[in-house]
Amino acid sequence: MDHQHVKDTVRQIFTEYLSLNGHRKTPERYAILDIIYSIDGHFDIDTLYMLMAERKKFRVSRATLYNTIILLINANLVVKHQFGNSSQYEKCYSQGTHHHQICTQCGKVSEFHSEELQQVIGNTKLKNFRLAHYSLYIYGLCTKCSRAKTMKQKKLNNQNNQKKEK
Amino acid sequence: MDHQHVKDTVRQIFTEYLSLNGHRKTPERYAILDIIYSIDGHFDIDTLYMLMAERKKFRVSRATLYNTIILLINANLVVKHQFGNSSQYEKCYSQGTHHHQICTQCGKVSEFHSEELQQVIGNTKLKNFRLAHYSLYIYGLCTKCSRAKTMKQKKLNNQNNQKKEK
DNA sequence: GTCAGTGCAAACTTTTTGCAACTAC
DNA sequence: GTAGTTGCAAAAAGTTTGCACTGAC
């Protein structure tokens, strides 16, 4: 599915959602949806705010962004993540399911795919619960930080040993 | 392993961690660890703050709680979750691995166990990454909210249909 | 004695809220 | 016309920071 086709489809889904739930179809809402579906990867409200001003020459307030994002989440067009300090969002229609690995040291987030994981999680039987979507976050150290930490550890060990020998 | 034994063990692990990393062993830090390991389930900083005052008659500032929690996370004695608005924490030594299902409507978080999930995730091969721990969050609707939403949807549909008929 | 750790309050960041103005229906 | 939305600014909530004091080493 090409880019424009996706944008048209999500627009349609959003329209349906708004109608079905008795919300108004304001130009702000569609403009926000449009920008979000032209962003690859994660974004936070602040980034979105700046992109809106930049790309669309269409200013909306942060309050509206927060309001609209909630609608988009309920319409299953956006997912919310909470790594780091501020909430991160991501489009989710026609995106391949992916998982996140987060470096606890430098905070870097990368994505990976795994058919097997996807299947097992999707098939998990839940009691008293209707699954909508899920997030798997793998925490650990990226190669770079892992190396740095080992170095630091060694250094400290040496210092400790030297103290004991004194 | 009984409750007191766990507390003693984590105390020991924490002591080792502090020594190894050149941190001081302050009474505040041990008091915090102790309280955390007497809490079942999730807690946030505010709850912890109040529990400290209540149960221990030992007041520590929020700043110290934040500082200490970071140490405990690095020592692998506590994990951080980010559902809802404030960060949630949880003891993790000698806790069975479990996953979380979160109701997107009422925010209720419940836990479940799954050997299969645990194995598959633990065995996932990651590129350039050293896995420390992971979190799986399943989002959806709990039975109660699911029912409520269906009702609301029906009501709105009826209203929409009535309008069209007018 | 020294410096990491603490308490406190102020600062900062992110998100929510109240209200007047606007506009989709 | 009416009520749902928006923008703005103020407030709230959560977390971090700076500084003087304390106490673990």
CA distance B14 to B91: 13
Phi, psi of B88 (to 5 degrees): -110, 145
Parallel, antiparallel or unpaired: strands B129-142 and B99-103: parallel
CATH topology of domain B96-166: Dna Ligase; domain 1 (3.30.1490)
Over A61-122, what HEC string results? CHHHHHHHHHHHHHCCCEEEECCCCCCEEEECCCCCCCEEEEECCCCCEEEECCHHHHHHHH
Q: CB-based contact (8 Å) between B27 and chain A?
A: no
Task: Output the CA angle B8-B14-B16, nearest 5 degrees.
Answer: 105
Strand C reaches within 7 A of the B100 CB: no
Q: Cα(first)–Cα(last) distance of chain A, in Å?
A: 70
Between residues A33 and B3, the one the model is more confident about: A33
Parallel, antiparallel or unpaired: strands A78-81 and A88-91: antiparallel
Strand D reaches within 7 A of the B63 CB: yes
The letter for the amino acid at B99 is H
What pLDDT, in 10s, does the model give residues B125-140?
888 888 888 899 998 8
CB < 7 A to strand D: residues 72-101, chain A: 85
Give the pTM. 0.84
Q: In the complex, which nucleotide's C1' lies nearest to the CA atom of residue A64?
A: D6
Contact B142 A127 (CB under 8 A): no
What pLDDT, in 10s, does the model give residues B91-101?
999 888 889 99
CA distance A35 to B163: 33
Chain B: closest CA distance from residue A61 (Å)? 21
DSSP element (H, E) containing A10: helix A3-20
- Could you say which of A117, A135, A160 has the minimum Cβ distance to residue B120? A117
Chain B: closest CA distance from residue A123 (Å)? 10
Chain B (110-149) residues lying within 8 Å, Cβ to Cβ, of chain A: 110, 112, 114, 116-117, 120-121, 124, 126-143, 146
| Maximum pairwise Cα distance, chain B | 77
The mean pLDDT value for B18-46 works out to 94
Strand D reaches within 7 A of the B163 CB: no
How many Å apart are B64 CA and D18 C1'? 15
**pLDDT tens, per residue, chain A with 166 residues:** 678 899 999 999 999 999 999 999 999 999 999 999 999 989 999 999 999 988 877 889 999 999 999 999 999 999 999 987 889 999 998 887 889 998 877 778 888 888 888 889 988 888 888 888 889 999 888 888 888 777 766 665 665 555 444 4
Does the A1-95 domain belong in CATH 1.10.10.10? yes
Domain ranges of chain A: 1-95, 96-166
